Every structure is written in C-alpha cells, then in structure tokens.
C-alpha cells in the first residue's frame, strides 16, 4: 500500500484549493470555510440550495445564477416535474408491455435540468441513454426518446436538429465524440461548447480517460458532466475509484468540481462556470454531479439484490424537486395556482406520451436494409432484392389460393 | 496509347502522400490525424511533409491512443470534418475496434440516415517486412463482417492514389488497408485520369484456364504466379479485387464463367477469411460452370509467426502454384 492509497477515504485538500475542486488556480475564503464545515472524510460539494430549500451563499458560484428570476426558478421546477412525469409514464409503459426497456432518471432531475439549462442553443450535447431531462431542455420531443426503448428504431431524432446527439449505449464512447466535436469547434474558431454526459461506472472506461487526455492536450472546449448516481447497476462507486471522481481531473491537468447533483441551482451555476471556461479557451472541466439513482438501473434490474431501502430513504430527503418546491414556497416565488396548473400540464404530458407510444407503428421490414450505408453497398442491395423476392413468394401463394 | 504528361512513376507510399496532399488542398474540412503523422511524417513516411505545408491543425499528431484517435475522428466528422486517421500498424487497431464497430459503422443507421461519418481509417497491413509481433497482420475479415464499413486495399501506386481520393470523398467510413510491403513499389500514376468505381475489381491479366483472385499485397504475387504458369503453358487470369467490402462478385463470376476455376489468395488466415465468403458465393453463382472447388491460399490458423518463419506462413509462388495444380487436376 502506498501513501496515496488513503486518498479514497481522506480529504487531501490543501488550503489553497476551492471546496470540492482540484486543479484550478481560483481560491476563495468562503470555499475554505465551506470545506472546513464538512466532515474530513467527505469531500466538499458545491451547494446553493440545501435539502430544506434554503439558499446558501457561495462567492465562487453565485455570480453564475445572479440574474436568475422567480420565473426562471419556476421554469426549472416545471422542467423537473415534467421530466419526472415523463419518466414515470415511460416506466409504466414498460410495465404495460409498450416499451421493451426503460432507463429511469428518477432522482437525477436537478443534475440534468440544471446542466441542460446552462447550455446555449449552439452548444452540443453528447448524452448517455438516461439524459431524458437534458433532452427535454434541448427541445427534443420526449416521445422521440421512446422509439429505441420500444424497439422501432435505434434513435429516432435528428441530432443536428437540437444539437443533441443520439443516445449512446456503449459506456463512455460518447466522451470521445464530444472531444472530437469540441476540437472541431476550436478549428472553426467558434465559441460554442460541448457537454459530455457519463456516469460513475463510465469513469472506469478507457475511452473516458482517453477523452480526458485528448481534450486536455488540445485544450478542447468540452465539459465532462459525470452524474455520479452512486450505482453502476449493482456496483457502488467504490468499485470504480479510490478517489472522489472529480479528483480524476487533476491528473489530466484540468479542474474538477463536485456539485450537489440534487441541487438544480448549483448544477446550473457550476455548469455555466465550466461552459464559460470552455468558451474562454480555458479547456475542459470535469463536473461530478453527486446524485442518486432512486430507481433501478433499468426496468430489467432488481436493486433489492444489492442495496438497502434505508439508503434510498436517506436520499429521498434530499429530493431535487422537493427542495426547490420548499424554496419556491418559502420565498413566495410560486402560489398554489402555479402548482395546480403544473399538475394539470403534467397529466396532459403523460397522456400525450402514452397515446404517442401506443400509436407508434412497427417499422416496415425493409427498414433493415435502409441507411446501412450513405452511398450504398452492393451486398445490401443484393440481400434486399433477395428478401423482396422471398416476401413476394408469399404474395404469389396468397394470390394462387 | 501515349501517356499524358500528368502521368509519373511513383512509389505506392508516395502516391498516398500525393493523394492526401491533393485532398488537403481541395477541401479545408479534410484533416489527417494519427500517431507521429506530423513532424516525422508517419513511421512509413506516408504523411511526409504534410504538416509542414498544411499546419498542425490540419495534420494532427495525436496522443498514443487508438480508440481516442477514432473516437475523436467521429466527433470531428459530426462537426463536418472529413478525418483521415492513421493506425500505425495492423496489430494496433484493436484498441479502436470498439469505436469502429459500435460507433463508426453503426451511427449512420442509428440516426436513420441523418448522420454521415466520412472517416477514412488507414491501416498499413500485412507481412513480409521482417517485423516484430503485431506488425504484420491482415485483419480485414474482422472488419468485413461489420455492416456499415467499407473496406478497400490497393495493390499499386495508381490505385492507391485514386482509391484514397475516392475513400475521402465517400460519405461512408472506409477502412483503407495499405499493403506495407508494397509501399516502395513504383508504378505510373496519372493524376488527371478518370478513375473507375472504388469497389470494382479489375482484370490485371487476362487468361483462360483459371482465375486467381487477390487484393493488396497478393496481387503482385499472383501476377508472378501467372508468369510462372505461362512458362508451363497455362493461361491464368488475375483479378485484382481492390475492395473487400463490398466484394465485386459480378466481376469474379464473369471471370470464373470464362475460366471455370478459381483460386483466392490472401495473407489473412484462410479460416473465415474473405476467401471463404468468395468460395461460398461463387459456388452458389457458378455451380454449373465450376470444374473444381474454389481453393484458397492464405495464412494458417496460428498467430502470425516470428519474422524468421513468415516466409513459411505467407502464401508464396510455390504454394499458389500448388493450389493451381490441384485445381487443374480436377
């Protein structure tokens, strides 16, 4: 065992480091205070809203949400509620046999809406397969997300339409695509930025490490947004890393910060900060959104085999939607009418999604042969023709009867 | 027929270099990337001088990570670029195999045609240069099995030049296998010619008794075999397939219908090699024309051997002639 082996359990922050960040030159006194207030075993995380909905000051990140209005806060709340409603509907649709599988984002709404709303239209998003909240922020019709889970396509939206790439199922692959895209932005001389989503499990993938390396070497304008939801199917984060994930960035030469991923305001602020760094030519940032997967990995998973209910209960107390509601109510930013209206809108969304999925037709058989190649391929043509002849042989039989 | 002044003799490696130069010149979206492709000009000097002339943002020395190279090339393509990436040696492509198979090959279909990935992956491949392990392999079948990829391999300088032009212009990902032991072979390249289709095979020597089908490094060998056979009074047709995905089965069929015998030659192992697919399909198409089963000559089902054994492992004149004899004996 080396000296470094204790790093997983012991905070090794130096006094010069901002709370929960590594590899950055910024220092603040409030950061030190925040860090000191925490148990030494837990790295500090950026939080602007406590689980009770109390707004706490943070000199480093407050400027990034300084202009936020009551209407903006209601908007974030609406985004989270509707995303959760959509997600619940999709889970139900899977239970009803309308979807083959669903990967729920339950519990991760704040991380996704906060980061999603930090983006500009010209920024580009590379999601995993669970970024339903980010898709919502990008204006992707939620029903489009369901095609692949119903099995009618492998990703039914135009990535260029909303600068929201297709869901990527192979873990971590998209972080390299994000890095390459960001390298292209630099070549174009544009000031757009890229955000790459991935999870705690993906942090073990070689592709993620390579994405960190490439983005650092080329100073690419990319934000690596890791939603640490504590579980990679059945494996806890301790099985992926001996150091808090945000600290990984330090070794690659760019800043890492841990944010309360159940705090939509903090997620928004930290992501904006990271995006501004990217736009300013300061290169990549790693944001670790500390959150919790409230549900199963997917509808095929059974979390009772590997984790206890009391863990979930502890995280329920930190629920992202509940805390913003408490804040909205205590600050008198929203009245009963707002919540009632949202409830109606939410039910309408559920109904629309339900009807859209049930009406989603199976693709034509010949879709198998479509879009295999952009410029065509002789073998595909040959097999399509053979299949057509095979199909036609049944028609002949029918005609003969 | 008089050669135009645009035709000049150049080595295969130089032809690729010239082709890359032309592409970089013609389209600002073309970028060349890989390990050591910049200042060094690549370990085979295929990209020699390109960074000097087009700059570090067009000819990019990358970190030493193949998955990263292909993965970022995909991202660049999504941004509108046309990356030409170099994998330094055949045996080093496997860290990138995941990105090539799960992403590069499938993203066009996944997006229902909305995303195009015009990425060329250059891989110097094959043996015969006395190298250490992982530097002499022929993994083309491992890619041919994957829908969404196109796979080509030129056998001479002219094809290398023009097929690279066409690969870069293709909106599909192309794996471009370069026969490294032929890098220094010189032949005429007409830079103003009108090239034929990228995936069309070509009869490089007409014959009547048997067809030899090959691509990349084995075309030259097959021509030597045909010369040797001619001395024994046998007329062999040599077909340069040029493309492994798709394979120009029509051209093979047309040839076999004339000669009634087919021997496929490649360096890659025979087992599940491209020769197996060709044998199956040509047997289906030409069953009543064939006088003999389709025979294959290639590597053995063993790891590529140490350099002192590679001449035993690789198809050579005698092994191909032996297959020719066996075919003609039917």
User: Any CB–CB contact under 8 A between B30 and chain A?
Assistant: no
Strands A194-199 and A256-260: unpaired
Same-domain check for residues A141 and A159: yes
Residue-wise pLDDT tens digits, B232-271: 999 999 999 999 999 999 999 999 999 999 999 999 999 9
| Interface touch A173/B68, C-beta < 8 Å | no
> Encoding tokens for residue B67?
């998955």
| Interface touch A378/B170, C-beta < 8 Å | no
Q: Which residues of A touch B31 (CB under 8 A)?
A: 187
Q: Which residues of A are marked as active site? A: 293, 297, 306
| Interface touch B170/A375, C-beta < 8 Å | yes
Domain stops at, among B147, B165, B190: B190
Cβ(B185)–Cβ(B234) below 8 Å = no
Same-domain check for residues B185 and B85: yes
Confidence of residue A29 (pLDDT cuts 50, 70, 90): very low
CA B76 to chain centre: 24
Helix (H), strand (E), coil (C) string for chain A: CCHHHHHHCCCCCCCCCCCCEECCCCCCHHHHHHHHCCCCCCCCCECCECCCCCECCCCCCHHHHCCCCHHHHHHHHHHHHHHHHHHHHHHHHHHCCCCCCCCCCCCCHHHHHHHHCCCCCCCEEECCCCCHHHHHHHCCCHHHHCHHHHCCCCCCCCHHHHCECCCCCCCCHHHHHHHHHHHHHHHHCCCCCEEEEEECCHHHCHHHHHHHHHHHHCCCCEEEEEEECCEECCEEHHHCCCCCHHHHHHHHCCCEEEEECCCHHHHHHHHHHHHHHHHCCCCCEEEEEECCCCCCCCCCCCHHHCCCHHHHHHHHCCCHHHHHHHHHHHCCCCCHHHHHHHHHHHHHHHHHHHHHHHCCCCCCHHHHHCCCCCCCCHHHHHHHHHHHHHHHHHHHHHHHC
Residue-wise pLDDT tens digits, A96-115: 999 999 999 999 999 999 99
DSSP for B61-79, please give it. Answer: EPPS-HHHHHHHHHHHHHT
User: Any CB–CB contact under 8 A between B274 and chain A?
Assistant: no
User: Any CB–CB contact under 8 A between A176 and chain B?
Assistant: yes
- Using CA atoms, how far residue B85 sits from A49, A285, A304, B37, B73, in Å, is 47, 26, 47, 9, 7
Q: How far is A219 from chain B (nearest CA, A)?
A: 13
**Is residue A287 in a domain?**
yes
For helices A109-116 and A70-95, angle between their N-to-C axes, nearest 10 degrees: 130
Q: State the average pLDDT for chain B.
A: 97
Q: Is B86 helix (H, G, I), strand (E, B) or coil?
A: strand
Residue-wise pLDDT tens digits, A245-295: 999 999 999 999 999 999 999 999 999 999 999 999 999 999 999 999 999
Residue that is written with structure tokens 């480093």 in the block: A60
CA A149 to chain centre: 17
Strands A194-199 and A124-126: parallel
| Interface touch A378/B99, C-beta < 8 Å | no
ipTM for the complex shown? 0.96
Residue among B206, B205, B154 at smallest CA distance from B176: B154
| Interface touch A370/B112, C-beta < 8 Å | yes
Dihedral of alpha carbons A243, A206, B107, A182, sign? positive
> Encoding tokens for residue A297?
């990995």
Looking at residue A26, its pLDDT comes to 45
**Is residue B23 in a domain?**
yes
Q: How far is A282 from chain B (nearest CA, A)?
A: 18
Looking at residue A44, its pLDDT comes to 87
**Is residue B38 in a domain?**
yes
* DSSP assignment letter at B111: T
Same-domain check for residues B123 and B67: yes
**Is residue B15 in a domain?**
yes
**Is residue A331 in a domain?**
yes
Q: Which residues of B touch A380 (CB under 8 A)?
A: 147
On the question of pLDDT at A13 being above 80, the answer is no
Substitution target in A214, A366, A373 with the highest count of B β-carbons within 10 Å is: A373
CATH number of the domain that residue B269 is part of: 3.40.50.920
On the question of pLDDT at A16 being above 70, the answer is no
**Is residue B281 in a domain?**
yes
Total domains in chain B come to 2
Smallest Cβ–Cβ distance between A210 and the set B68, B103, B171 belongs to B68
CATH number of the domain that residue B43 is part of: 3.40.50.970
User: Any CB–CB contact under 8 A between B116 and chain A?
Assistant: yes
In chain A, the percentage of residues whose pLDDT exceeds 70 is 88
Smallest Cβ–Cβ distance between B75 and the set A155, A160, A181 belongs to A181
More confident residue, A18 or A299: A299
Total-model pTM: 0.93
- Using CA atoms, how far residue A190 sits from A276, B65, B146, B305, in Å, is 13, 27, 36, 50
Taking residue B80's Cβ as centre, other Cβ atoms within 10 Å add up to 13
On the question of pLDDT at B219 being above 60, the answer is yes
> Encoding tokens for residue A55?
């707004």
| Interface touch A156/B79, C-beta < 8 Å | no
Residue of A nearest to B109 (CA): A371
Q: Which residues of A touch B74 (CB under 8 A)?
A: 176-177, 180
| Interface touch B171/A187, C-beta < 8 Å | no
Residue of B nearest to A151 (CA): B110
Confidence of residue A156 (pLDDT cuts 50, 70, 90): confident
Looking at residue A395, its pLDDT comes to 79
Domain stops at, among B190, B223, B256: B190
Cβ(B230)–Cβ(B236) below 8 Å = yes
User: Any CB–CB contact under 8 A between A180 and chain B?
Assistant: yes
CA within 13 Å, CB half, A197: 27
Same-domain check for residues A351 and A372: no
CA within 13 Å, CB half, B283: 12
CA within 13 Å, CB half, A211: 39
User: Any CB–CB contact under 8 A between A177 and chain B?
Assistant: yes
Taking residue B212's Cβ as centre, other Cβ atoms within 10 Å add up to 32
Residue-wise pLDDT tens digits, B13-70: 999 999 999 999 999 999 999 999 999 999 999 999 999 999 999 999 999 999 999 9
User: Any CB–CB contact under 8 A between B55 and chain A?
Assistant: no
Q: Which residues of A touch B116 (CB under 8 A)?
A: 374
Same-domain check for residues A277 and A381: no
User: Any CB–CB contact under 8 A between B190 and chain A?
Assistant: no
| Interface touch A207/B116, C-beta < 8 Å | no
Same-domain check for residues B262 and B140: no
Same-domain check for residues B166 and B230: no
**Is residue A286 in a domain?**
yes
User: Any CB–CB contact under 8 A between A259 and chain B?
Assistant: no
**Is residue B196 in a domain?**
no
Same-domain check for residues B158 and B297: no
Same-domain check for residues B281 and B145: no
Strands B82-86 and B30-34: parallel
Residue-wise pLDDT tens digits, B97-155: 999 999 999 999 999 999 999 999 999 999 999 999 999 999 999 999 999 999 999 99
Same-domain check for residues A174 and A306: yes
Cβ(B72)–Cβ(A196) below 8 Å = no
Instruction: Note if B135 is an active site residue.
Output: yes
| Interface touch B245/A187, C-beta < 8 Å | no
On the question of pLDDT at A42 being above 90, the answer is no
Alpha-carbon span A96 to B268, nearest angstrom: 50
Same-domain check for residues A378 and A337: no
Total domains in chain A come to 2
Q: In what order do the strands lie in the sheet with B236-240?
A: B202-205, B236-240, B210-214, B262-269, B295-299
On the question of pLDDT at A204 being above 80, the answer is yes
Same-domain check for residues A281 and A377: no
Looking at residue A19, its pLDDT comes to 46
Give the list of residues 6+ apart from residue A75 with CB closer than 8 angstroms, or none: A117
* DSSP assignment letter at B281: H
Alpha-carbon span A114 to A138, nearest angstrom: 12
**Is residue A11 in a domain?**
yes
Q: How far is A393 from chain B (nearest CA, A)?
A: 20
**Is residue A363 in a domain?**
no
Q: Which residues of B touch A182 (CB under 8 A)?
A: 75
Give the list of residues 6+ apart from residue A6 with CB closer than 8 angstroms, or none: none
Looking at residue B292, its pLDDT comes to 98
Domain that holds residue A388: 368-400
Domain that holds residue B23: 7-190
User: Any CB–CB contact under 8 A between A140 and chain B?
Assistant: no
Looking at residue A21, its pLDDT comes to 58
Residue among A153, A154, A204 at smallest CA distance from A175: A204
Residue-wise pLDDT tens digits, A54-76: 999 999 999 999 999 999 999 99
Q: Which residues of B touch A371 (CB under 8 A)?
A: 108-109, 111-113
CATH number of the domain that residue A111 is part of: 3.40.50.970
Smallest Cβ–Cβ distance between B78 and the set A153, A177, A207 belongs to A177
Q: Which residues of A touch B109 (CB under 8 A)?
A: 154, 370-372
In chain B, the percentage of residues whose pLDDT exceeds 70 is 98
CA B262 to chain centre: 20
Q: Which residues of B touch A176 (CB under 8 A)?
A: 67-68, 70-72, 74-75, 99
| Interface touch A211/B147, C-beta < 8 Å | no
- Using CA atoms, how far residue B150 sits from A316, B15, B39, B180, in Å, is 51, 21, 30, 19
Residue among B314, B176, B167, B324 at smallest CA distance from B236: B324
Same-domain check for residues B184 and B223: no
Instruction: Please report the residues numbered 362 through 391 in chain A whose beta carbons come closer than 8 angstroms to any beta carbon of chain B.
Output: 370-375, 377-380
Same-domain check for residues A208 and A293: yes
Same-domain check for residues B184 and B244: no
Same-domain check for residues A235 and A327: yes
On the question of pLDDT at A207 being above 80, the answer is yes
Same-domain check for residues A339 and A393: no
Residue among B120, B112, B269 at smallest CA distance from B198: B120
**Is residue B195 in a domain?**
no
User: Any CB–CB contact under 8 A between A166 and chain B?
Assistant: yes
Taking residue A299's Cβ as centre, other Cβ atoms within 10 Å add up to 18
| Interface touch B76/A185, C-beta < 8 Å | no
Same-domain check for residues A353 and A372: no
CA R_g for chain A: 23
Query: Phi, psi (5° rounding) for residue B84?
Result: -115, 105
Strands A21-22 and A256-260: antiparallel
Same-domain check for residues B72 and B128: yes
Same-domain check for residues A249 and A273: yes
CA A298 to chain centre: 15
User: Any CB–CB contact under 8 A between A179 and chain B?
Assistant: yes
**Is residue B40 in a domain?**
yes
Same-domain check for residues B158 and B247: no
Q: What would the mean pLDDT of B280-295 be, rounded to a whole number?
A: 98
**Is residue B1 in a domain?**
no
Same-domain check for residues B106 and B26: yes
Dihedral of alpha carbons A259, A264, A269, A271, sign? positive
Smallest Cβ–Cβ distance between B67 and the set A154, A166, A207 belongs to A207
Taking residue A248's Cβ as centre, other Cβ atoms within 10 Å add up to 21
Same-domain check for residues B130 and B255: no
Q: How far is A181 from chain B (nearest CA, A)?
A: 4
| Interface touch B98/A187, C-beta < 8 Å | no
Same-domain check for residues A179 and A138: yes
Instruction: Please report the residues numbered 141 through 160 in chain A whose beta carbons come closer than 8 angstroms to any beta carbon of chain B.
Output: 153-156, 158-160
Domain stops at, among B190, B213, B240: B190
Alpha-carbon span A316 to A36, nearest angstrom: 26
User: Any CB–CB contact under 8 A between A189 and chain B?
Assistant: no
Smallest Cβ–Cβ distance between B78 and the set A155, A181, A378 belongs to A181
């Amino acid at each position: 065992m080396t000296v470094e082996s204790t790093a997983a359990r012991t905070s090794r922050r130096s006094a010069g480091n901002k709370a929960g960040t590594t590899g950055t030159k910024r220092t603040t006194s409030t950061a030190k205070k925040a860090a000191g207030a925490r148990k030494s075993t837990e790295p500090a995380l950026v939080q602007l809203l406590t689980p009770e909905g109390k707004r706490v000051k943070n000199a480093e990140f407050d400027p990034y949400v300084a202009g936020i209005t009551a209407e903006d806060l209601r908007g974030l709340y609406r985004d989270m509620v509707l995303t959760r409603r959509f997600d619940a509907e999709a889970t139900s649709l899977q239970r009803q046999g309308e979807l083959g599988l669903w990967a729920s984002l339950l519990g991760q709404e704040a991380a996704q809406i906060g980061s999603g709303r930090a983006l500009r239209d010209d920024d580009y998003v590379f999601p995993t397969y669970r970024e339903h909240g980010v898709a919502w922020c990008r204006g992707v019709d939620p029903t489009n997300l369901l095609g692949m889970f119903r099995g009618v396509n492998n990703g039914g939206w135009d990535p260029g339409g909303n600068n929201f790439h297709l869901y990527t199922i192979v873990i971590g692959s998209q972080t390299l695509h994000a890095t390459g895209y960001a390298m292209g932005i630099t070549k174009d001389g544009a000031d757009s930025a890229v955000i790459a989503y991935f999870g705690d499990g993906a942090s073990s993938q070689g592709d993620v490490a390579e994405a960190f390396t490439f983005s650092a070497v080329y100073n690419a304008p990319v934000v690596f947004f890791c939603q640490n939801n504590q579980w990679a199917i059945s494996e806890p984060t301790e099985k992926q890393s001996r150091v808090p994930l945000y600290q990984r960035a330090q070794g690659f030469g760019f800043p890492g910060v841990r944010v309360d991923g159940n705090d939509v305001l903090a997620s928004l602020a930290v992501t904006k900060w990271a995006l501004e760094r990217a736009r300013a030519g300061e290169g990549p940032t790693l944001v670790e959104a500390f959150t919790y997967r409230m549900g199963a990995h997917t509808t095929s998973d059974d979390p009772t085999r590997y984790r206890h209910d009391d863990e979930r209960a502890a995280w329920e107390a930190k629920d992202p939607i509940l805390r913003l509601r408490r804040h909205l109510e205590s600050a008198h930013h929203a009245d009963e009418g707002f919540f009632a209206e949202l409830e109606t809108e939410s039910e309408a969304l559920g109904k629309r999604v339900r009807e859209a999925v049930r009406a989603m037709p199976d693709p034509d058989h010949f879709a198998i042969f479509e879009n295999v190649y952009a410029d065509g391929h002789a073998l595909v043509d040959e097999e399509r023709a053979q299949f057509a002849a095979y199909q036609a042989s049944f028609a002949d039989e029918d005609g003969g009867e | 027929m008089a050669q135009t002044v645009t035709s000049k003799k150049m080595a295969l490696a130089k032809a690729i270099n010239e082709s890359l130069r032309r592409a970089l010149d013609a389209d600002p979206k073309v970028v060349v990337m890989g390990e050591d492709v910049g200042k060094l000009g690549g370990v085979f000097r295929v990209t020699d001088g390109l960074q000097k002339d087009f700059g570090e943002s067009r000819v990019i020395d990358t970190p030493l990570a193949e998955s990263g190279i292909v993965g970022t090339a995909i991202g660049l393509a999504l941004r509108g670029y046309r990356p030409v990436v170099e994998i330094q040696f055949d045996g080093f492509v496997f860290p990138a195999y995941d990105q090539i198979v799960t992403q590069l090959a499938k993203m066009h279909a996944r997006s229902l045609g909305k995303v195009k990935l015009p990425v060329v992956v250059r891989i110097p491949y094959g043996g015969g240069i006395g190298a250490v392990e992982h530097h002499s392999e022929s993994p083309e079948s491992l890619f041919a099995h994957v829908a969404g990829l196109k796979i080509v391999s030129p056998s001479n300088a002219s094809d290398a030049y023009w097929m690279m032009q066409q690969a870069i212009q293709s909106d599909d990902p192309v794996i471009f296998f370069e026969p490294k032991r032929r890098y220094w072979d010189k032949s005429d390249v007409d830079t103003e010619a009108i090239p034929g289709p990228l995936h069309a095979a070509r009869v490089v020597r007409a014959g009547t008794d048997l067809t030899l089908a090959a691509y990349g490094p084995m075309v030259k060998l097959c021509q030597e075999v045909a010369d040797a056979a001619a001395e024994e009074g046998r007329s062999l047709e040599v077909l340069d397939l040029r493309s492994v995905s798709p394979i120009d089965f029509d051209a093979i069929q047309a040839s076999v219908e004339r000669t009634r015998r087919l021997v496929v030659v490649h360096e890659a192992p025979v087992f599940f090699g491209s020769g197996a697919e060709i044998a199956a399909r040509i047997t289906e198409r030409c069953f009543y024309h064939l006088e003999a089963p389709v025979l294959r000559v290639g590597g053995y089902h063993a790891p590529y051997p140490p350099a002192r054994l590679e001449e035993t492992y690789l198809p050579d004149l005698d092994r191909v002639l032996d297959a020719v004899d066996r075919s003609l004996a039917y």
